[in-house]
Structure 1
């Protein structure tokens, strides 16, 4: 006897029952309607994922006048930060039965605008504009006929909706963690000073030091985000006789270079010098010896939140301004507390 395929026959009633909500609440949650709590929305989305629930897209489109698709334009399709943002956005949109059309602008402003125009010709319901870095970017304007949400690189127009990470708080978080490990001579190695990620992290780090009456150990120097600069900046600290017991590096690559330079001088990590990085890049943090403590930008969460805000705007509940989402500390063995 043939058995029913629940993955192909799941109904809205099934989703509502599994999530333990009413039919109306399940429908509102799935379609991004307002007046549904975040906890309830997540429960309904998870039930839909478990059941592989897919509403009748044609019927929905005819009833709502919407295509059920959004456009996503990224400046860097293969980027270290773009990929998890895309995954987060796609997961959120898929849970809301919305498809994604992807375009790669490759950092070209003219190509970005061309992609936007092309996606609009395909009748997308809204657009996510994803940048490869957190530097503020010019607005594309609001005359497109559909809502736009800027992701990672916020729009300079406060009337637009943007979602990014809080780099100031991340810098503060890194230094506070080192202080909690018993360190009080903390050096800072910055990335490229033309990036707001670097200057914002420095701002937060200096604020955290000032709150406990400390100053950075040695001058703050900026350079490339790579291991070579991490090594060179650390050697400068050592050659100039700067006394330090911790280094806050603004990227994991800088931290790996820093650790190399410290080890070359027979300094132990973390016993002699604690080191923290930023980005939580697995290929660097977990292979480091010792494993590297780092700050995670929560880029997948940024993608999910941006997609949710776009759906809110499509449903008549737009958000304005920039939301700065908190980063997350991932402690490993490079910053163990002093005995």
Structure 2
């Protein structure tokens, strides 16, 4: 029968003795703590003795019984053993049949009496360390670190044993220690000027996916188009020693860099930096416009009108120019000059009135945004034009709020903002690791076909 006893010497430790050498032995143990140092009460629980790799003894967490009072354990330990738990791991690492998981047997530094419930027995106040994991797995600290971080040429058996030990101890890597060891904080700052979040939230989601895979955390800061606020956030993020920054917004226009000679890499996502030496990841809007025109041509439409946003917006100009260029490649042209206006349904309805008043014959409308396209669709229906039978309709952005509300559902060009965010984060990680990618990088858009350009099946 296994036996558990307490000892109060230079170090408060648990001594474990058991004669089993193989197989599994289960039984009840009774131990009466010494009445010194304010410790009293009794403990009873169920224990296992196992063999597997280096065998170890595991105290089951579903311990039964009670502890009347546990107070200030581990206070008078030798300096080389800061806690009773480390003393156990260091002084009693093995018995004939295994290893002691001491944290399941008592609590260190408790200042309040434990409840008379098995649920509180065996919980440790401090977190397990990499040294605890290494001791339980029977390996060195360096080997445990390599196994948990996926580094080094270790045997799979060793790696799995270390991970199992970490799971048993509920081990979580200490971010502070990791930072001191690597010189990095594994944090990234993200500054946005898109208060509504229409574009920045999908970019953030994609970036977080990529950064999370690299075990990075993100600080999100809303600059609200205020240069003073933005510079405050830049200084705050630098004071937190972030490893890098991502800057995003709601327009693709080039903007001034957030700072000169910053000590960390910066990647601009969706928006771009006016400095060609900076790394910017932007949607390939010209490529998206070409895909829209190619789709309309593929469904047999050749008389195409274009309705888009304000002419002073870079996106509106780029999309209009790319659409005209793609038509010219087939010897075609827009039925009328591009109609520039607002990014709204109201402008879409007004634009249809302009097209009909100009008596321009058109069988398709390519819109610079989904909001414009929905207004165009409503106006065409009011004018007795059917979509897509009489006029095929395609939008831009693939905003589900608009594409699903449109009747029929709207074909659109998707900016793939989450993919763009992932690409930006991957480039930032590469820059942090010493491989920057300066310049402007175009992220491809994709076509999403719905019923506004294709006839429904009979």
The TM tier, using the shorter chain, reads 0.7 to 0.9
- Partner of 2:258 in structure 1? 140
Aligned counterparts of 1:12 and 1:140: Cα–Cα separation in 2: 38
TM-score normalised according to structure 2 size: 0.63
**Higher RCO, 1 vs 2 (CA within 8 Å, ≥6 residues apart):** 1
Question: In the alignment, which residue of structure 1 is the partner of 2:387?
Answer: 269
Aligned position for 2:414? 296
Q: Quick check: 1:130–1:151 contact (8 Å CA) kept in 2?
A: yes
The answer to whether the 8 A contact 1:74-1:129 is kept is yes
- Are residues 1:80 and 2:198 paired? yes
CA gap 1:263/1:24 in 2 versus in 1, 3 angstroms: farther
Conserved 8 A contact 1:294-1:330: yes
Residue 90 of structure 1 pairs with residue 90 of structure 2: no
1:181 aligns with 2:299: yes
Shift of 1:331: 0.2
The match for 2:227 among 89, 109, 118 is 109
Structure number with higher strand proportion: 2
* Distance across 2 between alignment mates of 1:335 and 1:256: 14
Q: Deviations over 1:38-93 (max 9, x none)?
A: xxxxxxxxxxxxxxx97543332111111111111110243211110111111211
Pick the structure with more helix per residue. 1
Residue 324 in 1 paired to residue 442 in 2? yes
| Contact 1:182–1:338, Cα closer than 8 Å, also in 2 | no
Contact 1:85–1:303 at 8 Å: present in 2 too? yes
Deviation at residue 13 of structure 1 after TM alignment: 4.6
CA deviation digits over 1:243-266, x for unaligned, max 9? 000000000000000001100111
1:59 aligns with 2:177: yes
Larger radius of gyration between Structure 1 and Structure 2:
2
Residue 233 of structure 1: how far off its partner (Å):
0.6
Contact 1:275 1:292 in 2 (8 A): yes
Deviating beyond 3 angstroms after TM superposition, the runs of 4 or more aligned structure 1 residues are 8-16, 23-26, 53-56
Number of the residue aligned with 1:238: 356
1:122 partnered with 2:254: no
2:397 partner SS: coil
Partners of 1:336 and 1:11 in 2: CA distance = 57
State the number of aligned residues.
Answer: 304
Unaligned runs of 5+ in 1: 17-22, 27-52
1:193–1:55 CA distance, 2 compared to 1 (3 A): farther
Q: How far apart are the structure 2 equivalents of 1:54 and 1:309? A: 28
Contact kept in structure 1, 2:316 and 2:368, CA below 8 Å: yes
Deviation at 1:140, TM superposition (A): 2.8
Tell me the alpha carbon deviations over residues 166-197 of structure 1, each in whole angstroms, 9 at most, x when there is no partner. Answer: 11111111111100010000000011111111
Distance 1:58 1:208, change over 3 A: same
Question: What whole-Å deviation, never above 9, does each CA across 1:105-164 have from its counterpart, x for those lacking one?
Answer: 011122212211111111111111112110111123441111111111101111100101
**Equivalent of 1:203, from 300, 315, 321?**
321
Task: Determine the C-alpha separation between the residues in 2 that align with 1:338 and 1:199.
Answer: 33
Corresponding residue for residue 33 of structure 1: none
Cα displacement string for residues 194-219 of structure 1 (whole angstroms, at most 9, x for unaligned residues): 11111111111011100100010122
